[in-house]
Amino acid sequence: MSAEEKVVLTHGIMPLPLGESTRPIPEDAVYGAGYVPGIPRLGIPALRETDASLGVAYVFGLRKDGATALPSGLAQAATWNPALVRKGGEVIGSEAHAKGFNVLLAGGTNLMRDPRNGRTFEYFSEDPLLSGTLVGNAIAGIQSNHIISTIKHFALNGQETGRKFVDVQISDAAARESDLLAFQLGIEIGQPGSVMCAYNRVNGHQACSSDYLLNQVLKRDWRWKGFVMSDWGAVPNLGAALNGLDQQSGAQLDPAVFFGDTLAQAAAKDPAYAKRLDDMNRRILTAIYANGLDRYPARPGGKIDLKANSEAALETAKQGIVLLRNERGVLPLARTARKIVVIGGYADSGVLSGAGSSQVHAEGGAAIKVPLDGGPWSAFLSEQYHGSAPLAAIKAMAPQAEIRFRNGRYPSEAVTAAKDADVVIVFGTKWTTEGIDQPDLTLPNGQDELIAAVAAANPNTVVVLETGNPVLMPWLDKTAAVLEAWYPGARGGEAIASVLFGETNPSGRLPITFPAAMSHLPRPELDGLATLETNFGGDAPSPDAKLTADYNIEGSDVGYRWNARKGHKALFPFGHGLSYTSFSATGLKTDGKQASFTVTNTGQRAGATVAQLYLDSRGGQTKQRLVGFSRVELAPGESRPVSLKIDPRLLADWSGNGWTLPAGNYVFALGDSAERLGPTVSTKLAGRRWSD
């Protein structure tokens, strides 16, 4: 490489018409999130980048080709099915490649430290083992198409409020045992070509200029060989290169193009920058050639199997729906139900999706768009619904029934209709988006009051939730059943109907805790929410503005671990999910390294369960950890042996320069959830230390 060529791969643009900031869009670019020119003289391909984890994003509506919308990250995680999540990655990767992209900005891994985070729907869970396992499989599926996947947002990107300047305070040990462990597992399993660093600060330093995160943890301790790309608009200065950043993405959004001529000049004068620049290129080229971007070039106009991809989205939605409550066995609904009333949630038109850079459109666009009230980002952040109408799917399941729809705008109208029905199905929706956190966990626009009124009028009220976060349910005890459908994607309406009528036996399990009260959270008030104006960019209101989020409060005890430590009982705990059949898990044996047991379908229907193995205590002290899981499908009366390998890092403490496993008694249990554990089994483990 010549000196000029060495700064070609180190920075890129957004290849979009962006007003005064627009640069000429290269002929070989595709409308998308990013473009990094190649070096034809050396046969190095350009990098054409697109969002995101849920499908090929629609980028402001500039491309009209459409894509398959998978269910949200939470819905995928609720399957607890690594193979299915990998299949979803294959779907997204194949469509991206066929549209001419060779880099996918996927792999959302951040743990849910605050349930009000606007991007919770994109991510997988609150647990490092579950998140790391699933994201690793998603990345492996994506990269099987000879494109690069990122893993993001590295790291501790726990809120959107003030996202570009909030300073996360956390100890090294707490980070390594929680969020960083999720990333570490995901990298080990998926081998992503790139890591995308986050907007936020960590212990005083921007994540994209954090020597601790990028040089010490990622490159030194984990010995990772790929390249670190910035998030768009997350590069503070040239010094980020020395602190481990390899590529400046969407450089129009930064104060300057630091990794172009400025970097070249620094490298010409300073041996440290010269050495770093060579390493930056080496890492980018490693990712390019390891994933075959040169040998399997992505070109627009490739063949897409839309039918097969649609079926993958449907199956993911079915497996991800969680049956939270089912009193008196009201579900599954009989197909002979005489009168059914469906209320609210635009159920006559489609299913809700989350917004921001992960937004996906089917060909033809959204079924419904509800724009924000003003603001420069209102068109980008409109509330959108995929065109898979639950009402139509319900009618198809019960063709002999009298089925009526009420939009729920007037509770009195909904109540009148509910009184005359055999069954009422109320859809509760909560739209969430990148860039904006939720103020609380209620359902907006009076929906909690609507559900309460309808449930009081008819005891056979079933609530279907389409949400991107946990929600409180003040009406819960009045309802007969509750389904959490998340944002269920391109075929969501059909998936919901399939579960409601029993064509699909629900097998989803919660990947996050639904807290019983806001006071149970480590931070009952979201940092900055009361004082900062809503700002999609997340920029500081002034150069000296400060915002701190203290993650040392809970440390590594995120979600269900926090509840176990504090003795809180969840509204619905991590791992919870009901079925139309029943299961037992018996005969647990473990030496702390492996575990074996038998799972049996003790009911009358075929179905799937998720066997969950937890560390319950260590050395006599509560230390709850998910240490293994397996989704098991069984016919009625069928039994199957299950064996799980236990990663010792899940049992250990980070000591500062490695892992320490204290000698002592370790107590394990199988559970239907983090709060419903079976008989315990204890084993003594010898103490030991090791490094990554």
Question: Residue 651 belongs to a domain with what CATH number?
Answer: 2.60.40.10
Q: Is residue 303 part of a domain?
A: no
> Of 176, 186, 98, nearest to 136 (Cα)?
186
- Give the pLDDT confidence score for residue 373 in this predicted structure: 67
pLDDT one-digit tens code per residue, 260-270: 999 999 999 99
Same-domain check for residues 266 and 355: no
Q: Which helix (H) or strand (E) holds 278?
A: helix 271-290
Pair 141, 89: CB distance under 8 Å: yes
Segment among 11-20, 51-60, 655-664 with least mean pLDDT: 11-20
Within 8 A by CB and 6+ apart from 655, the residues are 173, 689
Of 448, 472, 500, the residue that ends a domain is 500
Strand ranges (E), 179-274: 194-197, 201-202, 205-206, 227-229
* Sheet of strand 368-370, all strands in order from the earlier edge strand to the far edge: 351-353, 383-386, 368-370
Where in 401-504 does DSSP place strands (E)? 402-406, 423-430, 461-467, 481-484
User: Which CATH number belongs to the domain containing residue 30 in this structure?
Assistant: 3.20.20.300
pLDDT at 377 over 70: no
Element holding 307 (H helix, E strand):
helix 306-320
How far apart are the C-alpha atoms of 200 and 117, rounded to whole Å?
13
The pLDDT of residue 379 is: 61
Give the pLDDT confidence score for residue 534 in this predicted structure. Answer: 79
Which among 16, 121, 33 has a CA at the least distance from the CA of 434?
A: 121
In this predicted model, what pLDDT tens digit does every residue of 424-437 receive, in sequence order?
A: 999 999 999 999 99
Distance CA 276, CA 215 (A): 11
Please, where are the H alpha helices in 28-144? 73-77, 82-98, 128-143
Query: Residues 236, 327: one domain?
Result: no
Token couple for 163: 């996202």
Is the pLDDT at 370 greater than 60? The verdict is yes
On whether residue 516 sits in a domain, the answer given is no
Of the listed ranges 33-47, 285-299, 312-326, 521-535, the least confidently predicted one is: 521-535
With a CB cutoff of 8 Å and minimum separation 6, the contacts of 318 are 495, 498, 499, 504
DSSP-derived pairing of the beta strands 583-590 and 594-601 = antiparallel
Residue 531, in any domain of the structure: no
408 contacts: CB under 8 Å, gap ≥ 6: 343, 344, 345, 414, 426, 427, 447, 450
What mean pLDDT, rounded, does the chain reach? 95
> And the tokens for 456?
């009081």
pLDDT score for 42: 97
Q: 91 with 193, same domain? A: yes
Residue 266 and residue 169 in one domain: yes
326 lies in the same domain as 380: yes
Give the CA-trace dihedral at 150, 121, 394, 449, to 10 degrees: -170
For the cut 70, the answer to whether the pLDDT of residue 648 exceeds it is yes
DSSP letter assigned to residue 619: T
In a domain, 154, yes or no: yes
Range from 57-61, 445-449, 501-505 carrying the lowest mean pLDDT: 57-61
pLDDT at 482 over 70: yes
Terminal CA-to-CA distance of the chain, rounded, Å? 34
CB neighbour list of residue 635: distance below 8 Å, 6 or more residues apart = 601, 606
13 and 143 part of one domain: yes
Q: Which among 245, 267, 290 is the end of a domain?
A: 290
Contact 398, 501 (CB under 8 A): yes
- What was the pLDDT predicted at 61? 65
Contact 180, 561 (CB under 8 A): no
| Helices and strands: H and E segment counts in the chain | 13, 29
Higher pLDDT, 17 or 86: 86
Q: How far is CA 581 from the centre of its chain?
A: 29
Cα gap 204→208, rounded to integer Å: 12
Q: 500, 524, 545: which is the final residue of a domain?
A: 500
Domain boundaries, position 653: 560-690
Does one domain contain both 340 and 246? Answer: no
Strand partners, 671: 612, 677
| Complete DSSP assignment for 653-676 | EE-SSSEEE-SEEEEEEEEEETTE
Instruction: Kindly state whether residue 523 falls inside one of the protein's structural domains.
Output: no
Q: Measuring CA to CA, which residue among 397, 287, 320 is closest to residue 80?
A: 320
pTM above 0.85, yes or no: yes
List the alpha helices (DSSP H) in 501-580: 560-566
Whether residues 120 and 258 share a domain: the answer is yes
> Considering the domain boundaries, does residue 153 fall inside one?
yes
Q: Using one digit for the tens of pLDDT, what is the confidence trace for 94-105? A: 999 999 999 999
Give how many domains the chain has, as a whole number: 3
Rounded CA gap, 155 and 228, in Å?
12
- Residue 329 and residue 261 share a domain: no
- Tell me: do 640 and 683 sit in the same domain: yes
Give the range among 111-120, 282-291, 380-389 with minimum mean pLDDT: 380-389
Q: What's the CA gap between 654 and 649, in Å, rounded?
A: 8
Do 268 and 329 fall into the same domain? Answer: no
Under a CB-based contact definition with an 8 Å cutoff, are residues 176 and 221 in contact?
A: no
Amino acid present at 497: A
For the chain, the residue count is: 692
- 60 pLDDT higher than 80: no
In terms of domains, do 482 and 596 share one?
Answer: no
